[in-house]
Amino acid sequence: MDFTFTEEQQAVVEVAKALFADVVPDGVPSPALTPGAVAEDFDRALWSRLAEADLLGVLIDSEHGGVGLDPIALCLVLRESAKVLARVPLLESSAAASAVQAHGGAELRKKVLPAAARGDLVLTVAANGRTGHDPAESAVTAQRDGDSWVLEGLQTGVPWMQNADLVVVPARTAEGHTVLALVPRGHEGLTVAEQISTSGERLGELHLEAVRVAASDVIEADGAWDRLRDLLATGTCALAVGLGEGVLRMTSEYTSKREQFGHPVATFQAVAVQAADRYIDLRAMEVTLWQAAWRVSTGADSALPAAGDVAVAKVWASEGVRRVVQTAQHLHGGFGADTDYPLHRYHAWAKQLELSLGPAAAHEEALGDLLATHALG
């Protein structure tokens, strides 16, 4: 594995840093973490700036208006976005567009990809299943009916669903195959119930009753859902790393300024040891992230499928980001419990990322299953 980023990837990072520099983590339009206070929409102004900077088309080929880079580049951008809690569906929309590009038909690619790169079309993915703990592909059934597919089922906790234009719904056929259906919000037979996330954002619970989707809007390729799910999980790890780095920097600045007994608390051994432990967590999160992103980007051979490296990265991301924010709150003292202080929002987002697409225990179980079924040389 080569940890050196290409010139194109480094250029994307510089663009992302400049763009996110003016984003205020706890500023308008971020919702306050109080009952009933949620944002009606994601940050549309930031979304437009991302489109102008070509960051919405990182994974989309140039022939469709994108820049044609790989998941590593996307993860670099996501890491920067999480440092400031950027409220945009960058991961979900980019991952869904990538699935369309890799596996969709010519008509679907033409309809989706240019509009997604411009920011005119917002996509999301229903990846949490019926309860958030069961496989997403088992929550909805798909039956072929002539030149269309009919979907039945329920998907919970769909991010940005209240404002997305299209949602990618994995569904299981009677033969046991998984297809990906692109369903417009407001489509006949689709109803969306509001849910509120740990981070104070609006989610959607999808109810699909005899939802008919044209065959041209359904991806039937084998492995399409597995690759999309791996990309979503890897992107979630990138968000966790970026958030953790932002929190550690915030904590370092605070403990360097706060004094007790005439000295900055950062000079106390107990504080320094805790900060060092969390730095180690972040480095472990980062190395497992880039290993997973590299496998997802290149499909490099290994004794285990890419899902194994993704599972390892998600275990570290889930456990690590939780420890980072908990230590940060402890070292901030009373400020750590103040809901008006930005750290409180970081903690809420960290909890959401920890549990998104499954907590550490779920990925440890998945990794165990992979190890049991693949011989390691």
* 273: CATH: 1.20.140.10
Same domain as 281, residue 188: no
* Joined tokens for residue 120: 């005119």
In a domain, 1, yes or no: no
In a domain, 261, yes or no: yes
Q: Which residues pair with 167 in a beta bridge?
A: 124, 183
Helices (H), 3-105: 7-20, 44-52, 71-83, 90-103
Which pLDDT does position 375 carry in this prediction? 60
Q: What is the pLDDT of residues 26-54, one digit of tens each?
A: 654 445 445 455 677 899 999 999 999 99
Q: What is the pLDDT of residue 57?
A: 97
For residues 260 and 363, state if they share a domain: yes
Considering the domain architecture, whether residues 246 and 360 belong to the same structural domain is answered as yes
The pLDDT of residue 339 is 76
Same domain, 137 and 228: no
- Per mean pLDDT, which range of 217-231, 250-264, 325-339 is the poorest? 250-264
In a domain, 31, yes or no: yes
132 and 271 in a single domain? The answer is: no
Residues 212 and 303 in one domain: no
**Domain span holding position 212:** 125-219
Q: What CATH number does the domain containing 177 carry? A: 2.40.110.10
239 and 361 part of one domain: yes
- Picking from 219, 249, 280, the residue at the C-terminal end of a domain is 219
Whether residues 191 and 63 fall in one domain: no
Of 23-37, 175-189, 280-294, the least confident: 23-37
Residue 171 CA to its chain's centroid (Å): 20
Strands 202-214 and 148-159: antiparallel
pLDDT exceeding 70 applies to what percent of the chain? 94
Is residue 212 a contact partner of residue 189, using CB atoms and an 8 Å limit? yes
Both tokens of residue 347?
A: 């903690």
Residue 79 and residue 18 share a domain: yes
| Cα angle value 309/315/321 (rounded, 5°) | 125
Nearest to 67 by CA among 108, 116, 132, 121: 116
**Based on the domain organization, do 230 and 366 belong to the same domain?**
yes
Closest CA to 79 of 161, 162, 30, 9: 9
Compute the distance between CA of residue 96 and CA of residue 86 in angstroms, rounded to an integer. 19
Final residue in a domain of this structure, among 91, 121, 151:
121
> pLDDT at position 37, please?
55
Looking at the domain assignment, is residue 23 inside a domain? yes
Q: How far apart are CA 76 and CA 366, in angstroms?
A: 26
**pLDDT digits over 67-89, tens only?**
999 999 999 999 999 999 999 99
Q: What are phi and psi for residue 326, nearest 5 degrees?
A: -65, -45
Mean pLDDT value across residues 273-283: 91
Query: Does residue 262 register a pLDDT over 90?
Result: no
Summarize the confidence of residues 291-296 as an average pLDDT.
95
Question: Is the pLDDT assigned to residue 128 strictly greater than 70?
Answer: yes
Which of residues 219, 254, 287 is at a domain's end?
219
pLDDT (0 to 100) of residue 31:
52
Tell me the pLDDT tens digit for each residue of 324-359: 999 999 888 877 777 778 888 899 999 999 999 999
With a cut of 50, say whether residue 377 has pLDDT above it.
Answer: no
Lowest-confidence region among 22-26, 49-53, 201-205: 22-26
3-state secondary structure of 148: strand
Q: How confident is the model at residue 259 (pLDDT cuts 50, 70, 90)?
A: low
- 217 vs 345 pLDDT, higher one: 217
Residue 180's nearest CA partner among 149, 134, 210, 209 is 149
Per-residue DSSP letter, 64: G
How many structural domains is the chain composed of? 3
Residue 2 located in a structural domain: no
Shared domain check, 266 and 315? yes
pLDDT interval class at 25 (50, 70, 90): confident
Sign of CA dihedral 69, 225, 160, 201: negative
Residue with tokens 């102004």: 45
Residues 133 and 110 reside in one and the same domain: no
Predicted local distance difference test score (pLDDT) of residue 102: 96
Give me the percent of the chain exceeding a pLDDT of 90.
73
Is 95 a domain residue?
yes
